[in-house]
């Protein structure tokens, strides 16, 4: 691809417990800027399935794309980002695993002071967050009514997705960008900073909960535009 060809396609990948509708604010801002924005409704049953869903969207595009992932979506874009149309990876308060790593391995040994996400014991192979603790842990800066809706409309997150390991991390060959959510109580900010540093990402840090893509869509869109205009 010519260095003069800037991606006009943006592909957004959501994480666990939620669906793609949380990207609406980011979608609207980027669309207004003239980007063609696609949202992957990845089923979060397994990493392989979510990578396939993302690749299907990338296959349908007419040119290069910036691939964006939130939370577990960072694992998805780390693998799916090897697609030939992907120019840059953007991690939004996301996991950025290396080869052989998964969400399960990345959260296996949290520091003693780290907040503990209120993940309930698996039910039939699926995970949920405690609805009563969802807002405080996932969406503390989201309006109360919307946070309650997010808690009550959770998407079952498959244990197979949690354990899905990356085979070829795309950030080793493609530029990475990272937005650290400074008030995150799902993925500790120090862990986010460490993953961003490991990937060599251009990094910004903003006040925000784990749902920073919902509460601060402008900050998220700005970083995505930086990647697209590189």
Query: What global pTM score does this model have?
Result: 0.96
Residue 110, CA atoms < 13 Å, CB-side half-sphere: 15
With beta carbons less than 8 A apart as the criterion, state whether 4 and 31 touch.
Answer: no
Looking at residue 104, its pLDDT comes to 96
Mutual angle of helices 73-80 and 47-59, in 10-degree steps: 60
Question: pLDDT tens digit string along 2-40?
Answer: 445 667 999 999 999 999 999 999 999 999 999 999 999
The percentage of residues in the chain with a pLDDT greater than 70, rounded to a whole number, is 97
Query: CB count, 10 Å around CB of 101?
Result: 17
Spell out the SS3 assignment of 25-39. HHHHHHHHCCCEEEE
Statement: residue 59 has pLDDT above 60: yes
What's the pLDDT at 114? 86
Predicted confidence (pLDDT) at residue 1 exceeds the cutoff of 60: no
| Mean pLDDT over the full length of the chain | 96
Q: What is the pLDDT of residue 3?
A: 47
In whole angstroms, give the CA distance from residue 54 to residue 13: 8
Instruction: Report pLDDT digits (tens) over 170-215.
Output: 999 999 999 999 999 999 999 999 999 999 999 999 999 999 999 9
CA-angle at 22, arms to 17 and 27, nearest 5°:
145
Do the strands 36-40 and 202-206 form a parallel or antiparallel pair, or are they unpaired? Answer: unpaired
Is the pLDDT at 97 greater than 60? The verdict is yes
Report pLDDT for 5. Answer: 60
């Amino acid at each position: 691809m010519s260095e003069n060809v800037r991606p006009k396609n943006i592909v957004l990948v959501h994480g666990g417990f939620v669906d793609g509708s949380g990207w609406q604010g980011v979608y609207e801002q980027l669309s207004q800027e003239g980007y063609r924005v696609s949202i992957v409704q990845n089923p979060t049953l397994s990493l392989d399935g979510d990578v396939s869903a993302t690749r299907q969207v990338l296959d349908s595009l007419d040119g290069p794309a910036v691939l964006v992932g939130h939370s577990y979506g960072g694992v998805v874009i780390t693998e799916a980002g090897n697609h030939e149309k992907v120019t840059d990876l953007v991690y939004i308060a996301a996991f950025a695993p290396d080869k052989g790593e998964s969400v399960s391995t990345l959260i296996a040994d949290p520091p003693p002071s780290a907040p503990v996400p209120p993940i309930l014991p698996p039910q039939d192979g699926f995970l949920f967050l405690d609805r009563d603790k969802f807002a405080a842990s996932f969406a503390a800066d989201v309006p109360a009514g919307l946070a309650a809706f997010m808690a009550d409309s959770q998407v079952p997150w498959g244990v197979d997705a949690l354990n899905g390991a990356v085979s070829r991390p795309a950030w080793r060959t493609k530029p990475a960008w990272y937005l650290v959510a400074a008030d995150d109580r799902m993925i500790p900010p120090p862990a986010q900073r460490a993953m961003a540093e490991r990937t060599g990402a251009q990094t910004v840090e903003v006040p925000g909960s784990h749902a920073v893509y919902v509460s601060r869509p402008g900050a998220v869109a700005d970083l995505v535009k930086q990647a697209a205009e590189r």
